[in-house]
Amino acid sequence: MASEHAQGAAGKGGAAPRVSVILPTLNGEEDLRRQLPVLRSQAVDFEVEICAIDSESTDGTRAVLAEYGARVRSVRKADFRHGATRNLCAEDARGEFLVFLSQDVVPADEHFLGPLIAAFDDPRIAGAYSRVLPHPDDDALTTRTVLDLPEASGEPWVRDLDEIGPVWDLEPWERGLYLRFNNVASAIRTSVFREIPFPDMDFAEDFAWAARALTAGWRIAFVPESRAMHAHTYDVRKAFERYRVDAAFHRDVHGWRMRPSLLSAMRGIAYEVWQDARFILGGQATGSGRWRSLIESPALRTAQVMGQYVGSR
């Protein structure tokens, strides 16, 4: 049963909360009505406050935030930037730890926060992030995409640079994997964040933060006991753009070309479509719409892989 501390209204006076949830919002009324009740019900014995920063929502977002006791700052929609806006929101936070969430994340159960914060029992942990799984009603293609990501793994790990030396000495592809940090559902020690905030970047500010924290001698942990549900369902156009931007980031920052040639792209498309078919026909996909997903797979995966190819160039 959740403690009264975890359910306390944010922003009230008295002792500082142990955890501050940092929550950027934009027209997220429906998402927040799924997220905030689970966040309030966490089985923890410490106080949690919610610090939101809203980008000119026109729906009932601010009313829902008020209902759950959140403190809300505002930023113009045109001024929103992934790193800088989260930094601005965190300025008001009073907690020892900052928990960064996207508005469309849903904690899987009441044991989301406890394991995530317990990772900081290691005094060298600067940041920790949660296991990310698809929603039960996501379509088959979205489900497989999420389950294929490292964030869906059930294996915990802790990373530092003690044995491997400077992160920039790693091979580009290895560096891209080693620096994974996902602020869709993550926590950062506030004292570290005051020294190492998110860089002001349009994309992958969490990866860049991880590089700086590790280089400064801190550790990063992946905590699969802390589970959250999050997925984006892309159409062909959005899939192309999303994967193009991701590949361009790895090209520019890490020197890693994910799809270096047209041949590698063709092989990638064939592989992705084959894996979709195995996933769907092998019975791993549940629910309705499986045959529709099978039909849509070639177009979606072509857009995805060609986005990577274009971004790699």
In this predicted structure, the answer to whether residue 285 has a pLDDT above a threshold of 80 is no
CB atoms near residue 275 (< 10 Å): 14
pLDDT for the residue numbered 167: 83
Give the helix ranges, DSSP H, for the chain. 4-7, 29-40, 61-67, 82-90, 113-118, 140-147, 172-178, 190-195, 205-215, 236-249, 262-281, 290-312
In this predicted structure, the answer to whether residue 159 has a pLDDT above a threshold of 70 is yes
CATH superfamily placement of domain 4-229: Spore Coat Polysaccharide Biosynthesis Protein SpsA; Chain A (3.90.550.10)
In this predicted structure, the answer to whether residue 259 has a pLDDT above a threshold of 50 is yes
Does the pTM of the predicted model rise above 0.95? no
Query: Taking residues 151-176, what's their average pLDDT?
Result: 89
Give dist(CA 297, CA 291) in Å, integer. 10
What are phi and psi for residue 192, nearest 5 degrees? -70, -40
Query: Taking residues 273-295, what's their average pLDDT?
Result: 86
Q: Are 272 and 239 in contact (CB under 8 A)?
A: no
Q: How confident is the model at residue 11 (pLDDT cuts 50, 70, 90)?
A: very low
Q: Are 305 and 244 in contact (CB under 8 A)?
A: no
pLDDT for the residue numbered 14: 60
Task: Encode pLDDT of 42-78 as tens digits.
Answer: 999 999 999 999 999 999 999 999 999 999 999 999 9
Task: Encode pLDDT of 211-221 as tens digits.
Answer: 999 999 999 99
pLDDT for the residue numbered 1: 30
Domain ranges (residues) in the chain: 4-229, 236-312
Provide the mean pLDDT of the chain. 92
